[in-house]
Amino acid sequence: MLSIPEGSDASRAPLSLDRDRKNDPMYDILEDPATDRIITRTDNNPPEPVGLLVAAEIPDAHKQAAEELRTNHLDTLLMFLRAPAVIESQDVYSRVTALSVMVKKAFEAIDKSRTTAKKAYLDGGTAIDKVYALPVEIDDPEKPGEKKTVKMLAELKGAHDALKKRLSVYDTAEYKKAEEARLAEAAAIAAAAAHDGIVMEAGRLGDGKMESSRSEHGGIAIKSVEKTFRIIDPDQVPANLCSPDPEKIRAAIDAGALKIAGVQIDVAVKTHVR
């Protein structure tokens, strides 16, 4: 029979309660009136889920159907494993063609059964997503006095991304100010060294860094410096930093090119069976 792994309980971190901040407006919305608790972001011990499907609840009918498919198509797989790795005659070619059709049909039969069997579970997952989307009515910021319905889950995800972006904008400005001061200091050190007859590259003094910070209201801002770029003048980009365009090379070959400098053109027959 098919082997189905049993699920294991996920480890749970302890609750983090902070009663000293009960009157802090940052935490008002996190107060749980049912238990008179102040729940911080580290409270990751949610209530036990109820009525959820687990792997062990897969009906026996699915297991039996899968077992029948394995029995019915095992010979096809074994035939493939015994097939020659290199075709050296037309007779073997003909046999491999037939085997290829058998393999394709075996795969399609198993995959169709698998897809049909899991459809109900996928539909159930879609229904769960719809329930937990949590539609709510809020004031429309673009139309004063009017309401609009939004999906709470998606709005929270968007809100989190927007807040991170605002923090990044602020941190980027702070980083640039610190970097200007650092480079100025590095230039001064290099100039002083040059005065003493020592040649020193300012760039060798290292890159600036941004330290993570902990908010007194809760949460830690973890910062990292990321360098991005955009090409503003392709003609000025050094040749050793330019990559060949595969689409243009393919177009040239399709147009009849037999040789292209720096490119090896190979010819092979791609065979399909049905």
pLDDT of 98: 92
Biggest distance spanned by C-alpha atoms of the chain: 86
Q: State the CB neighbour count (10 A cutoff) for residue 106.
A: 19
pLDDT of 235: 87
> Cα separation of 221 and 170, whole Å?
12
- Parse the chain into domains and list their residue ranges: 13-46, 58-132, 153-203
pLDDT of 252: 93
Please state the pTM of the whole predicted model. 0.51
Q: Which whole-number Å values give the CA distances from 58 to 6, 116, 122, in the listed order?
A: 12, 14, 13
Please give the backbone phi and psi of residue 260, each rounded to the nearest 5 degrees, phi first.
-135, 125
- The region, left, alpha or beta by phi > 0 then psi within -120 to 50, assigned to residue 57 is alpha
pLDDT of 29: 37
The burial class, CB within 10 Å (0-12 / 13-18 / 19+), for 230 is exposed
Question: pLDDT averaged over consecutive 10-residue blocks of the chain (274 residues)?
Answer: 35 36 41 43 44 61 91 94 92 92 94 90 88 89 89 90 90 86 82 75 57 80 83 87 91 92 90 80
pLDDT of 211: 76
Q: State the CB neighbour count (10 A cutoff) for residue 232.
A: 7
CA 231 to the chain's CA centroid: 26
